[in-house]
Amino acid sequence: MKPYESAAFRHFFYWSDTIAMKKNKKKKTGNLNPMRCPYCGASVVFRSAEGIYRENSADTMLYVCSNYPECDAYVRVQKGTKKPVGTMADHKLRALRTEAHRHFDKLYKSGIMSKEEAYFWLANLISAPLSEAHIGYLGEYYCSMVIEESKKLFERKTASMRNKRKGDCA
């Protein structure tokens, strides 16, 4: 299967197109919500994270599939806005994104590269503009790629640093 035929690819561009269409449309009156769940096709509702998050002391808001909890897809929004921080994800994709972030974050938290360099690396890896190089936008295919490539890069760089230290001690 070619990457553009995958569900992850369609999922990514569905949300990109939805956001672009919203920016280009004039404001309408009424409560029309064109967003649909990429997993089941049901409408998406804007609501509090209460009942979904164990603790919601930050008053987090989400876009949630109207079929929740049967369909557990949702995405968090930036505090005080209705702007999603990524695309809707089910439990499996959220777990992959968490793992991808854990491995990706090690690249700059360990000092191997700066945070800015890490995001340039990510943009190059997924062939996306820097503005779209966020794990919250990635589907399963690209999350798996980020996990694998982050591990490889981390191992290569830490091995190189160990070898350099051995050379300095000799």
| Residues 7-41: tens digit of each pLDDT | 554 455 455 555 554 555 545 445 555 789 999 99
- State phi, psi for 47 to the nearest 5 degrees: -155, 170
In this prediction, what percent of the chain has a pLDDT beyond 90? 66
Work out the end-to-end distance of the chain between its first and last CA atoms, rounded to an integer number of angstroms. 51
Q: What is the predicted pLDDT for the residue at 8?
A: 53
pTM attached to this predicted model = 0.74
| Residues 127-167: tens digit of each pLDDT | 999 999 999 999 999 999 999 999 999 999 888 777 777 66
| Residues 40-81: tens digit of each pLDDT | 999 999 999 999 998 888 889 999 999 999 999 999 999 999
> Tokens for 70?
């049967």
- State phi, psi for 56 to the nearest 5 degrees: -130, 45
How many alpha carbons fall within 13 Å on the CB side of residue 108?
12
Length of the chain: 170
